[in-house]
Amino acid sequence: MERLEWCGRWLRAGLAAGQVRRRLPWLLLAIVLLGSALKDGDLVPETPMRNKRNPLNVYFVKVAWAWTFWLLLPFIAVTTYQFAESKFLYGPTKSILTVLQRLSALLVGTAIWYVCTGLFMYIENLTGMCSTSGKLGELRRLYATKQECHQDNGIWNGFDISGHCFLLSYCALMIVEEVAVLEGLSVDQNSKLRVVIDGLFVSLCFLTMIWVFMFLCTAVYFHDFSQKLLGVLTGLSAWYGTYRFWYLKPFSPGLPLPNIPLSSKKYSYSR
């Protein structure tokens, strides 16, 4: 428990300064630029991360939104309820309503994930062609989708916007925004609630590290530069459009620190 508390305190100290929230978007863009340059220059060494079947990709990245969703769900619920009771002195009913409002940010994130990944697949199918090793003189079949092509052991050549760059950047930025609630939340150090919050917080921080690391691996090993750039720009746009614009409005899931006035929110979240 002491190690968990120490780890949580150390990680909170970094986030409380606002440096992570301020610099992470620029870091992600820099990774795409530098990673693509290294890939194009064939300067990246062979490592197990080049294999798409590596454990981090199979068990984490492939289900990145599920990991992010199910860890943020209890974290947002617990911290928002505690915030509503301790800071606003809300009763149980109003506190629960506040929790539901904040949890709707996860529904927004799910919608963004679903729409964007579907759009990427549509663009790839629209722009692609299937290459198969058919027999000489055999009529070539026309394939409408990448899935049909792969069923016949073909290779689909389309414009494949990097879903990894989109989703990993969006998940990392969303987590960093949500854990900002700890800047204004005070919990008794000896309480069980503190242990729960610290456990969830440390887990989310390590998950963010995995997302950034796998984002780096994607940048140096996979996709063309334009595909990665469009992917990360989509992720950054989704983050900016929600946490920097829509969530500042009254009719929205709101920001994790609801006690800060609107003018101060803009300063705190963009400094």
Catalytic residue numbers read 164, 223
3-state SS, one letter per residue, for the chain: CHHHHHHHHHHHHHHHCCHHHHHHHHHHHHHHHHHHHHHHCCCCCCCHHHCCCCHHHHHCHHHHHHHHHHHHHHHHHHHHHHHHHHCCCCCHHHHHHHHHHHHHHHHHHHHHHHHHHHHHHHHHHHHCEEECCCCCCCCCCCCCCHHHHHHCCCEEECCCCCHHHHHHHHHHHHHHHHHHHHHCCCCCCCCHHHHHHHHHHHHHHHHHHHHHHHHHHHHHHCCCHHHHHHHHHHHHHHHHHHHHHHHHCCCCCCCCCCCCCHHHHHHHCCC
**Burial label, 4 (beta-carbon count in 10 A; 0-12, 13-18, 19+):** middle
What is the residue whose two structure tokens read 């469009």? Answer: 230
Tokens found for residue 108: 């927004």
Angle between helices 2-16 and 192-221 (to 10 degrees): 60
Do residues 156 and 150 make contact, with C-beta atoms less than 8 angstroms apart? Answer: yes
Q: Which residues sit opposite 155 in a β-bridge?
A: 131
